[in-house]
Structures are given as C-alpha cells and as structure tokens.
Chains A and B, each alone.
Chain A
Amino acid sequence: MELLRVANLSKIYGQDSTKVVALDNVSFTVARGEFVAIVGASGSGKSTLLHLIGGVDRPTEGTVFLDGQNIYSFNDDQLAIFRRRQVGLIYQFYNLIPILNVTENITLPLDLDNRQADPEKLARLLARLGLTQRQDHLPNELSGGQQQRVSIGRALITEPALLLADEPTGNLDSAASAEILALLRQANRDYQQTIVMITHDLEIAAQADRVIEIEDGHLVGDVQ
C-alpha cells in the first residue's frame, strides 16, 4: 500500500550564473513498511530530495504526498505539525538542540505537541538506543554515534509514518555504523517502520528492500 508519493519534484538553487538544478522532475512511490535506500554521487541531489520529502524545504516544482495528502498544500504551521507528527528526520550532522539533554532532545517533538512521553515507552526506547546511562547528558558530552542515536530516538519517539535518514552513518566508524543500521532495521522489521535512507555505502544499501539511484538530480535506477 502506498505511503509516499514523490510527484515531479524539482528544486533549483540560485539564479542565472549560479543556478543549480539540484533535482529535476523526480517521481516515485514508497509503500508502507518499505526500507528504501537512496544512493548517488556526491552533489547528485540526495539530501535535497530527502529535505523535500521531510518538509523542511520547499520545492521549486512538483510536490510530495504522504498518506494521500499533498504536504506542500499546507501552510507553514500545518507543515510544522506535519513534521512533528508524521516524519522523523535524521541528519548526517545530528542537529540536536545543544541546550537540551538526551531525554529532552528525544521528547522534543512530543513536548512541542504538548504531549507527554509514556515513561515506559521512553525507557524502552532509551534502552534500545543504549542511552539509558546517558539520558541526562548534554549533546556535546556525547560521542558522534551516541549523538546520532539520540537523533534516531527523536525521530522514533512520535512513531512517525515515515523515517528519513540522511547518511546516518556517514560520520561513524564501522562498528557504530552497524549499530545504527541495526537499530533502523529493527524498527523496520518489528514496527513496520517505513524508512527512506540516504547512503554512500553500497553494502548498507544492499540491506534495504529497494535501492533508488540518483544522478545529477535525475532518478536513474530503482532496484528491488
């Protein structure tokens, strides 16, 4: 069953001499529960695509449907609420709030929604992320892998329809990478979490249900 539909998505940065077509008329769909990897050379437009799917940027043309809803028909506030409830975004650089500790960073989307995190669920999540010992630490007291696990926690806490990850392991060594990947796979397997993940690593991509390849802003490959 279709969860995500990317429809004729284009993104152009800059004007005239500095104009860059980062995405050029990209369309595809993702079914619920799918684990999709996006691969491509550096600068091919992967991050741009992911940001557009996640609603943190606005496309030049085309749109994105999630659960049948055109997310770019939303106004800014609706879009914010969409981000808060429907997507979990994981960046290559973790983008945590430096002034909030681990637990607070993780529960931030719920807090913004004035919802309380279920303590049991939170504890389970922290345990799954291996952060139980670290729950009161500030981000700058954590290692890169730990920070990335916090951002995964933040993405999972709302049980979003769609989990987006931009090279979540790009900054980590192989052991830490394997850990993160295991976490994502577990979420996908145990909770039927739909995941769209960017990666450079073909080995990691091989573990996905499906690999989409992008080149110069075009979709050039889609392998099951």
Chain B
Amino acid sequence: MTILHKIARRDFKLNRKRSIGTIVGITLSVALIMAVATMLTSLRQTLIQREIDMSGYYHIKLSQVTPQQLKKIRQNRDFKQIKTTSDLGVAAFDHADAAVEQSPLLTLQSLNATKPTASGYHLSSGTWPQTDQEIVISESAMLASGLKIGDQLQLKIGKPTVKKRKLPDSDALIEQATVVKGKNQNFRITGVLNADNYGYQGLTSAAKAKSYTVYLALKDPQHFRRDLPELLGLSNYHQVREGKKARYRYSLNDGLLHWEVLQFSDKTMLMLVTVATIVIAVIMLTSIFCIRNSFAISITEKTKTYGMLASVGATKKQIKRIVLLQSGQLGLIGIPLGLGLGVLASYILGLVVNHIGSQFLFGRANSFQLKFSWIGLLIAVVLGWATIYFSASSSARRASKVSPIAQIRNEQDVKLTSKNLRVPKWIQRVFKSGGVLAYKNLRRSRKKYRTTVISLAVSVFTFIAMSAFVTAAFNFSYQRFHSLDFNLSFSPNYAGMALKSAKTQAQIQAITKLPDTKHVQVMTALADNGNLKLAGVENHLAPGLTARDHRELQLLALDRTAFRKYGRANGLTEQQLASGLILFDNDTQTVNGKQINVHNYRYQAGDLISGSYQDNSSSPHKKYQAKFRLSGVTRKLPDMVSFYWTMPSILIADQQVAQQQLPLVLQSIVMDASKPEDTIREVRKITLQLGSWNLDGQIREEKTMRLLISIFLYGFIIVITLIGITSIFNTITANMALRQREFAVLKSVGMTKKEFDHMVNLETLFYSLKSLVIGVVSGIGVALLIYWGFNRGQAEQVHYQLPWLAIGLAIVFVFLLVFWIMRYSLRKFNRQNIIETIRKENV
C-alpha cells in the first residue's frame, strides 16, 4: 500500500461523519435512478404480461392459413412461437332469440394441442374441450341457445350463405347469413368462453382442419417493422398498417406491441417522451449536483491537508490521485448501496401495489411484476461513477491551482475583501453584535457561502419542479376520467333498432324497469347516423362561416326526463323546454394564440328551426320534414352524449317531440346500476342485440390507478426531498465545521451564546432568502416546461397551475431546515473545548 492509499484510507476513517454524509448523498441519488428505472421496467413488464394474459402471446394473427402456407411459416426463423387453431368453418344452431337480426352463425375453431390461453381465449366457467365431441362456446352463444354446461348442442357446420351466394368464413357475421348445406354434428358443452369479440364462437378439439388461424410471436419484436412486411409480402410497415392486400389475412396484437416495442400513437409518444425527458433530466441533474456538492465540500475541508502535502513535495498528480482514491472508496460503498436501496424500494412499492389491488389494473390473475432493469443499473452506475470522478477531479484541480501556502492558509475559498463595510442599522438593532459579525462574514467571503446557497436553491428548485410535475400528472389523469352519472352503457351491435318498432319499445321498457338500476336514460338518433339539413341556415351563421359546412347537424334525442334534466341544468325553463329542441353549440377558435369558445350559429331561444332528413337505410329512401321551436342554446353536452360524441354543434331533442316528425333508432341506454354484472346478464336475457359497456370496472381501475400514481409520485418527491436535505445538511455542516476555528477564537474573546445565536439567525435568513428566490423562480420555470410537455400533441390541455403549495412548503421548510442544521452544528461546536478546537486546527 502506497502512502497515497494510506492517506486516502486513513482520512476516510477519521472523517467518518463527513464520509457518511457523502455516501448518503451518493446512495440516495443512485437509488433514485435505480428505483425509477426498476419501476418503469417493471410496469412495462407487467403491462406486457397483462396483454399476454388478455389477448394471448402473439404479435400477429393470420387467418385462413392453408396447411402448405403453415409449413412455410414454420420454416421462418423470425418466430419465437407459432401457435395455431384450426378453422372448422361456421355453423348454424338453434337460436332462442330468433328475431334478432344478427346472423346466428357460430365460428368454430379447434385447439391444436395449443394452450388456449396462448391465443387469448379464456373460460368464464367450465373446462376446456378434450375431444372432438366436446365444445366450449362464447357467453353470447350460450345465452342465445339457452343451454347450460353439460347440455348437448347440435351444429350444422358449413359455409355461410346469403341469398344462395356462398361467402368466405370470415363473413359469418354478415346479417342474414345462414348455412344452407352443412353437416350436422353434436357436441357436449363443457364450458363458457369469455370472448370479448363480437359474434358467436365455439372451440372444440378436433384433429382435422382445412385451414388454420396462426398466432405468431416474433423472436425480436423490436424489428417488427422489418419482419412483418416480409412475412406478409408487403414492401413496408406502412402498408401493413394500411391493411393493404397481403399474402395472408392478418391482424396485429397492438396491445402487446405497444408495450414490448414501446410504440404508441405519435401524439402519445411525443407527450411521454417530452415529459420523461424533462423529469429524468431533473432527476439526473439533482443527483449529479448532490454528489458533486458532497465532494466539493469534503475537498474544501481537506484543502489544508493537500496544501501540507504539496509543501513537502507532493505533485499535483499525487494529490489528484489521493482525491480520486478517496472518491473511489465513497463510490465503492455508496453506489452498491444505492443500487440495493433502489431495488428494495421498488420491491416494497411492488408489494404495496399488489396489496392495493393489481387485479383492477393488470388483469385477472396478474400482479405487478418486479423486473430488474439492467439499463437502469448501467445508467445509475455510470452516472454515479462519472459524477464522482468528474466532481472529484474538478475539485482536485481547483485545489491544486493555488500555491501550497495559500492552501495551508485555506485562502482560495475565503477570498476576503477588506473593503469598508457599512453594516445596516437594522441588522445592528435586530441581530446585535452577532449579526454584525455574520453580516461582515457574508459580505466579505461570498464565495464561501455560495455552495450553501446553491445547494439550497437546487433543492428548492427540484422540489417545486417535481411538485408541479405531480400536479400536472394528476390533472392529466383527472381529465381522462370524467365523473359520469352512469356506470353502465348499452348500445346496439348493429343498426336498426327502430324506435317505432313495437319490439324495440318493449325491450326498452323492460330494460328501464330492471331492478337495482337508477337514472336510466335512453338516447336515440336519426337512423343511419343521419343529419338534419337545416333550412335557411345562411341567416343564422357566425360571420365567416359558410352554409355548405354548417347546413347539416347531427340530431340526437333523449327521453323526456333526461332531456328536461339536461335543459334545466343549463338554465332553461320548463316553458322553453316544452318545445323540445336544444342546440349545443360550442366551438373553439384560436385567436392570437389563445383558444376561445365561440358559437357557430346565431340561433336563439324561440327561433324556429326547420329541416329535412333523408333516410338512406330505407328503400326507397324516404324523406322527412321537421320543424321545431328552439328551447335554447347550450355550451355543454349531456354526459351520455359526450361519452360517444364530440362535435362542436349538435341538436339535442326531446324524444317524444322528435319522434312525431322523424324516424329514430336506439343509440344507447345508460344507467347507474348497483350490480352491473347482474344487470348486464338481465339485459342479455331481454335482447342480445345490445352490447354492454361496463364502466364500473373502469372507474375502479382509474381510482386504483390514481392511488398508485400518487404513491409512486409522492415516493419520488420524498426521495428527491431527502436528497435535497442530505445535500443541504452536508453543505451547511461542512461550512460550519470549516469555521470552527473562527468560532473558537470568537468564543475565546468572549462572544456569548446569545450572540452566536444572533449570528446564526442572520445567516439563516440570508441563506434562505437568497436560495428561495433563485429556487422558486427557476422551479416555476421548469414547472411551465413540464406543463408544456404534457400538453404537447394533446387535444385536451392541462391548465397551468402555479405550484403554490409546493412554494409555501419550500419556504417554510427551508427556513426551518437551515435554522435547525445551523443550530445543530453550533451545538456540536459548543460542546467542544475552545483550545482543543484551535489546537486541532494548528497541528
């Protein structure tokens, strides 16, 4: 061991406290990077797993693949996993709800010794079919047939045919398709398939097949843009997206690709990348700064030692070597500790997440999966080392710039100016002689205090910026999450539930009367999504708008109760509402870079609105005329409308009024159900034509998601704050330690404790004010940047909020913290013997 090692080693041991402070700083910084990386990797892994669970492990699904084609696919080396199910054709079966206009055909597939879940199939009850005599069918088919598990089901298997014309199997969903010629076969139902897709599905286990559905998982999903076009015989990925005619019929598993390859829509990506860049930049900067600071301080403290070494002939290189060795030791302890701490924190967070309810978030049997991030490790280690190395060597370089004698006198950081100073009166009055001393100190050796002020300012800055990030993140997720007055929505799978049909009326009636439901609202629309063509619109348009673009308006109708409620909520009277038509009219325009709300129409309450409508779904196309008196104009849509539509202008009619003049079809029924699952089942019994949308799960999911985000974000803030505190603590205590001798001398010439207190008070005031001004201003700046990041490429803008709470907290916190740390150092000093202190400095 050379003398350099010896000095480094000894120094580390003898200055244990300072070493520990520095190590804590390194540890926290590295831990933060590691934890963020681990959490992100884990979240991604979990979401990948969720996608695999829900839709199966494949990136592309090919339909109707012939055995020859399959052989060729199997020779392709790009695939990690190739799973197939065989297509057995389509089948007709006895339908309980014969009046439903949906094709009663069932698509029959066979499992080829493939684990059914690999293709995204799930059972909601029962067992998988083991033989070609057994079958599982989708929930809807179960309800339609009225059968139970264990019952026999007779299928007529063949080709879908419409009006004697045979169609490809994939067209089984076409209305009025039937199987004319087919083979009858009997199956025993062993389970119910939880299939989310439209249409009836059946799954059996037969050996023979004419064609296959192939589920392909890529070996290297990162290269899907290259591999998929190649597979499909297309020239580029763009064509794949466009659905160009390819070698195979195919569909992509976008959910999995999203997370595996991290490819999102451009806008989402832009937002994610921007926000992540800003946040990561802030983390890195804080970490780097914290580490750098710790070193700068510990090196300042050792300047005298370096000076002595230099005066007996240590070269710059040797001194730099010592500094690096010392830093190395700190890094050697701090970095692994930080890595461990980061992973541990992620692990605990993972446990918390799983405890709170990952099932809402990550799918049924799925829990939050901790995944170690090698990239995170690499970044944390490299960044940690690099920061340590550069801050150490820059400090060493700075130390070696001055002559040994100056170092011994500790001159370079105490560039005193003996300028004449006039101490303000108020300082003398408020802070007494201690304050005067402190004031002179602060004015005459500014450089010495710069580190402290900077480290405080950086902490304040980070805290405010990150709080703003958290608020923005919340606002962002709040905006996604509307508080709706319904949790269940039904809408027809196929067009054509005409309101005037007695059957539709009866079904709506039945649904309205279902138990355990509240606020059932019915929305209808013009058949075929048609619009009302307004007469004489030219005279009622905002300036600059052309009649051509604004003549047609979508018309939606609400049941009377819902209509009145909506009208009243928007300030219209019962009298006005009696005429039965409200114009929602709220467009946005950008004027001088600012978005403002405008009306497109000049209609007012009481105006007569007349128009025509042509029903293109009827043959021959029927034409209708309608005339309403306008109840009023609103700027807000009813929830149930905005849930489906966002248009600048829409006509909302009272169903009973509109019905008399126009043909209406059912658009949706929404309700607040206390047992949503039961209600869905009941509705299925009434009609199979309505698809359900259960928002309850979504609402719960969002709530849990928010809880999780807050845990994550606040955890993040806590760590950032801890790093800041460590950094502040290190700086201030070191600064005080450097002044020990000065204090001892002051004490020895009779400065009282009270005067020391005054001195500390003034310094606290100075540090806090100065750093708060810098920190708050720059914090607000970065907060603006973060909002900008969130709003990039987003239609709905997050509104900027000044982070008042964070600013307030920072102010209080900084004052208390600085005050406390100064007092703490002073107390420690007070316990020491004066002469000991002076002597120690003089060896």
Cβ-defined contact, A57 with B406, below 8 A:
yes
Are B311 and A98 interface neighbours, CB within 8 A?
Answer: no
Among B624-672, those with CB < 8 Å from A are none
Residue contact A56 to B843, C-beta cutoff 8 Å: no
Residue of A nearest to B312 (CB): A109
Cβ-neighbour of A95 out of B3, B11, B308, B313 (below 8 A): B308
> In the assembled complex, which residues on chain A have CB atoms less than 8 Å from the CB atom of B318?
80, 112
Contact partners of A99 in chain B: CB under 8 A: 7, 10-11, 14, 305
Asked whether, in the complex, the Cβ of A83 is within 8 Å of the Cβ of B7, the reply is no
Mask of A57-84 contacts with B, CB within 8 angstroms, 1/0? 1100000000000000000110011111
- B314 and A84: CB pair below 8 A? yes
On whether the beta carbons of B312 and A154 are closer than 8 Å, the reply is yes
What residues on A are CB-neighbors of B403 within 8 Å?
56-58
Q: Indicate if B839 sits at the interface (CB-CB under 8 A).
A: yes
Distance, CA A114 to CA B4, complexed state (A) = 10
- Whether A95 contacts B840 in the complex (CB less than 8 A), given A80-B316, A89-B312, A109-B312, comes out as no
Question: Is the Cβ of A77 less than 8 Å from the Cβ of B315?
Answer: yes
- Does A94 lie within 8 Å of B843, measured CB to CB? yes
Q: Which residues of A contact B400 (CB under 8 A)?
A: 76
Query: Given the complex, which residues of A lie within 8 Å of B311, measured CB to CB?
Result: 54, 56, 83, 89, 95
With a CB–CB cut-off of 8 A, which chain B residues contact A82?
Answer: 313
- Provided the pairs A51-B405, A99-B14 are in contact, do residues A80 and B310 lie with their beta carbons within 8 angstroms? yes
Do residues B840 and A140 form an inter-chain contact, with CB atoms below 8 A?
Answer: yes
Give residues 87-116 of A contacting B (CB, 8 Å).
Answer: 89, 93-100, 104, 108-109, 111-114
Distance to closest chain A CB from B440 (angstroms)? 15
Q: Bound state CA distance, A75 and B360, in angstroms? A: 70
B68 at the interface (CB under 8 A from A): no
B174 at the interface (CB under 8 A from A): no
Summarize B's interface: helix, strand, loop or mixed: helix
Decide if B840 touches A83 in the complex (CB within 8 Å).
no
Shortest distance from the beta carbon of A35 to any chain B beta carbon, whole Å: 22
The complex places the Cα of A94 from the Cα of B315 at a distance, in Å, of: 21
Kindly state whether residue A45 has any CB partner on chain B within 8 Å: no
A95: chain B residues at CB < 8 Å are 308, 311, 408, 843
Q: Mark B281-313, 1 if CB is under 8 A from A, else 0.
A: 000000000000000000000000100111111
Chain A residues, CB < 8 A from B840: 98, 140
Chain B interface residue count: which class?
20 to 34
**Interface residue A18 (Cβ < 8 Å from any Cβ of B):** yes
Q: Which chain B residues in 226-247 approach chain A with CB under 8 Å?
A: none
Whether B308 contacts A96 by the Cβ 8 Å rule is: yes
Minimum CB–CB distance for B559 against chain A, Å: 87
How far is it, in angstroms, between the C-alpha of A17 and the C-alpha of B418 when the chains are bound? Answer: 9
In whole angstroms, how far apart are the Cα atoms of A207 and B548 in the complex?
116
- Residues of chain A within 8 A of B418, CB atoms compared: 18
Point out the residues of chain B lying under 8 angstroms from A89, CB to CB.
311-312
Contact B417 A112 (CB under 8 A): no
How many Å lie between the Cα of A104 and that of B309 in the bound state? 12
The CA-CA distance from A57 to B842 in the complex, in Å, is: 20
B404 within 8 A of A: yes
Q: Please state if B3 and A98 are interface contacts (CB–CB under 8 Å).
A: no
Q: Decide if A10 is an interface residue (CB 8 Å cutoff).
A: no
Cβ of B317 < 8 Å from any Cβ of A? yes
Q: How far is the CB of B303 from chain A (nearest CB, A)?
A: 13
- List A170-192 residues whose CB lies under 8 Å from chain B: none
Q: How far is the CA of A98 from the CA of B418 in the complex (A)?
A: 31
Query: Within the complex, which residue of A80, A94, A139 is in contact with B314, where a contact is CB–CB below 8 Å?
Result: A80
Instruction: Judge whether A193 is part of the interface by a CB distance below 8 angstroms.
Output: no
Alpha-carbon distance A51/B406, docked complex (angstroms): 11
For A85, list chain B residues within 8 Å (CB): 313
Determine whether the beta carbon of A100 is less than 8 Å from that of B313.
no
B2: interface (CB < 8 Å): yes
Complexed CA–CA distance, A139 and B7 (Å): 14
| Closest chain B CB from A134 CB (angstroms) | 14
Is B312 a contact of A84 with CB atoms below 8 Å? yes
Given contacts A96-B308, A97-B308, A99-B10, contact A109 B406 (CB under 8 A): no
A80 touches B315 (CB 8 A): yes
Q: Contacts of A51 on B, CB cut-off 8 Å?
A: 405
| One of B3, B6, B405 near A56 (C-beta < 8 A) | B405
- Residue A147 lies at the interface, judged by CB distance under 8 Å to chain B: yes
Determine the chain B residues whose CB is within 8 A of the CB of A56 once the complex forms. Answer: 310-311, 403-405, 408
Query: Quick one: closest A residue to B306, CB to CB?
Result: A97
In the assembled complex, the Cα of A76 lies from the Cα of B400 at a distance in Å of 9
A140 touching B839 in the complex, CB below 8 Å, given contacts A95-B308, A112-B312: yes
Select from chain A the residue with minimum beta-carbon distance to B841.
A93
A108 partner, pick from B3, B405, B408, beta carbons under 8 A? B3
A78 to chain B, nearest CB (A): 9
A32: shortest Cβ distance to chain B, in Å?
21
Q: Which residues does chain A contribute within 8 Å of B2, judged by CB atoms?
A: 111, 114
Could you tell me the distance between the alpha carbons of A111 and B3 in the complex, rounded to whole angstroms? 6
A77/B312 in contact, CB under 8 A: no
**In the complex, A140 Cα to B11 Cα: how many Å?**
15
Chain A proximity mask over B825-843: 1 for CB below 8 Å, otherwise 0:
0000000000000011011
**Nearest chain-B residue to A158 (Cβ)?**
B313
Query: Contacts of B3 on A, CB cut-off 8 Å?
Result: 104, 108, 111-112
User: Shortest CB–CB separation between residue B684 and chain A, in angstroms?
Assistant: 82
Selected from B10, B14, B316, B843, the residue in CB contact (under 8 A) with A76 is B316
Residue of B406, B840, B843 with most chain A CB atoms under a 10 A cut-off: B843
| CB closest residue in chain A, given B319 | A80
Q: Tell me which residues across on chain A come within 8 A of B408, comparing CB atoms.
A: 56, 95
Q: How far is the CA of A197 from the CA of B419 in the complex (A)?
A: 35
B417 nearest CB neighbor, chain A only: A18
Docked Cα-Cα span, A74 to B95, in Å, equals 104
Query: Contact between A112 and B6 (Cβ–Cβ < 8 Å)?
Result: no
Pick the contact of B315: A57, A81, A111, A139 (CB < 8 A): A81
Instruction: Find out whether the CB atom of A93 lies under 8 angstroms from the CB atom of B308.
Output: no
Query: Taking each of A18, A108, A114, which has the highest tally of chain B beta carbons within 10 Å of its own beta carbon?
Result: A108
Known: A93-B842, A99-B11, A147-B843. Contact between A113 and B6, CB under 8 A?
Answer: no
Which B residues are CB-close (under 8 A) to A81?
A: 313, 315
**Cβ contacts under 8 Å, A112 to chain B:** 3, 309, 312-315, 318
Chain A residues, CB < 8 A from B310: 56, 80, 83
The listed residue with most B CB atoms (<10 A of its CB), out of A58, A100, A154, is A100
Chain B hits for A97, CB < 8 A: 7, 305, 308-309
Considering the complex, give the chain B residue whose CB is closest to the CB of A82.
Answer: B313
- B843 touching A140 by the CB < 8 A rule? yes
CA distance A100 to B14 in the complex (A): 10
Counting chain A CB atoms within 10 Å of each CB, which of B308, B310, B839 scores highest? B308
A148 to B266, CA, bound (A): 74
Do B313 and A80 have beta carbons less than 8 Å apart? yes
Given A93-B842, A104-B6, A98 and B305 touching (CB < 8 A)? yes
Residues of chain B lying within 8 A (CB to CB) of residue A109: 312-313
A139 and B843 contact, Cβ closer than 8 Å, known pairs A18-B417, A56-B404, A97-B309: yes
* Distance to closest chain B CB from A193 (angstroms): 17
Q: Which of chain A's residues 26-73 have a Cβ closer than 8 Å to chain B? A: 51, 54, 56-58
In the complex, A57 Cα to B404 Cα: how many Å? 7
Residue in A closest to B404 when the chains form the complex, CB atoms = A56
What is the chain A residue whose CB lies nearest that of B302? A99
CA distance A151 to B4 in the complex (A): 19
Nearest CB of chain B from residue A174's CB, rounded to whole Å: 21
- Shortest distance between the CB of B466 and any CB in chain A (Å): 40
Bound together, the chains give a CA A89 to CA B310 distance in angstroms of 12
Least CB distance from A137 to B in Å reads: 12
B316 interface neighbour in A77, A100, A111, Cβ under 8 Å: A77
Closest to A50 in B: B405
A-B pairs with lowest CB-CB distance, top 3: A84-B313, A111-B3, A83-B313
Q: List 5 A-B contacts (CB under 8 A).
A: A57-B403, A95-B311, A100-B6, A108-B3, A140-B839
Seed contacts A83-B312, A98-B843, A104-B3; 10 additional CB < 8 Å A-B pairs: A18-B418, A57-B406, A77-B317, A80-B315, A83-B311, A98-B305, A100-B6, A114-B2, A139-B843, A140-B843
